């Protein structure tokens, strides 16, 4: 149901959308940072749909996932999609990113040391790319400059408000040129410039 709402709200952009994981279809994402659910990403759109929140007994439904940015690609952006909600105060919903196949930070951390970055999110962010913001978030996080290069990364999604709050994110992968192609192009440009200078002389 959420998947259809997200695809419908994205309009023409949804033609190229690909759902990498939908909790409504594939079951709850892992609740353990040390054993996150592995998902596959491909070039272009990779949507992750789910929900998080706190039940009336105080237990928090934390969602953890891990993915590989393949060789020759980079994580270009992280879009907040229609259907994303949060419970009141903006500071209660967040998404955190750690390099490697696990999220090793405790669930009640004293700091964000060990994370690459994190960001509070909510409905106000729908249609926004939050990857830049995650790269500069503080509290001890390492920080990064997008796009994120090839490698393994893990994500922690959490909402501390009581209730169930859907989210929808799009992890967008782009192709990156191979280094040898860049060197070849650079050599060709240098040769062209030298030829033009020689011709003018």
Q: Which of 53, 52, 43, 36 is nearest to 18 (CA)?
A: 43
119 three-class SS: strand
Q: Determine whether 26 is exposed, middle or buried from the number of CB atoms within 10 Å of its CB (0-12, 13-18, 19+).
A: middle
Alpha helices in 42-178 (DSSP H): 131-136
**Would you state the pLDDT for residue 110?**
83
Q: What pLDDT sits at residue 81?
A: 97
Contact (Cβ atoms closer than 8 angstroms) between residue 174 and residue 43: yes
Question: End-to-end distance of the chain based on CA atoms, in angstroms?
Answer: 69
Integer Cα distance of 123 and 126 in angstroms: 5
pLDDT number for residue 70: 97
pLDDT of 10 higher than 80: no
pLDDT in tens, 113-135: 999 999 999 999 999 999 999 99
In which band, very low, low, confident or very high, does the pLDDT at 6 lie, cut at 50, 70 and 90?
Answer: very low
Model confidence band, residue 53 (pLDDT cutoffs 50, 70, 90): very high
Task: Work out the average pLDDT over 40-53.
Answer: 97
Kindly tell me if the per-residue pLDDT of 100 is higher than 80. Answer: yes
**Tens digits of per-residue pLDDT, 54-87?**
999 999 999 999 999 999 999 999 999 999 999 8
Give me the percent of the chain exceeding a pLDDT of 90.
72
- Cα–Cα distance for residue pair 109/93, rounded to 1 Å: 15
| Mean pLDDT within 25-31 | 97
- Say yes or no to pLDDT of 5 above 60: no
Q: Omega of the bond prior to 150 within 30 degrees of 0, cis?
A: no
Domain ranges across the chain:
2-176
Question: Which 8-state DSSP code applies to residue 48?
Answer: E
pTM: 0.81
Half-sphere exposure of 153 (CA within 13 A, CB side): 23
Rounded to the nearest 10°, the torsion over CA 29, 30, 36, 42 is -10
Higher confidence at residue 181 or residue 168? 168
């Amino acid at each position: 149901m959420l998947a259809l709402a997200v695809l419908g709200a994205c309009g023409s952009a949804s033609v190229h959308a690909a759902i990498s994981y939908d909790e409504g279809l594939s079951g709850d994402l892992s609740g353990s940072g040390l054993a996150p659910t592995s998902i596959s990403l491909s070039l272009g759109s990779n949507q992750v749909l789910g929900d998080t929140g706190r039940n009336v007994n105080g237990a928090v439904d934390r969602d953890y996932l891990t993915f590989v940015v393949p060789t020759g690609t980079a994580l270009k952006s992280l879009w907040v999609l229609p259907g994303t909600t949060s419970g009141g105060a903006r500071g209660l919903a967040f998404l955190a990113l750690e390099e490697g196949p696990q999220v090793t930070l405790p669930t009640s951390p004293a700091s964000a040391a060990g994370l690459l970055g994190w960001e509070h999110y909510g409905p106000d962010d729908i249609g926004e790319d939050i990857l830049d913001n995650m790269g500069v978030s503080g509290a001890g996080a390492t920080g990064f400059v997008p796009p994120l290069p090839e490698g393994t990364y893990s994500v922690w999604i959490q909402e501390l408000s009581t209730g169930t709050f859907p989210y929808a994110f799009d992890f967008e992968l782009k192709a990156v040129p191979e280094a040898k192609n860049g060197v070849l192009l650079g050599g060709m440009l240098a040769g062209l410039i030298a030829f033009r200078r020689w011709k003018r002389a």
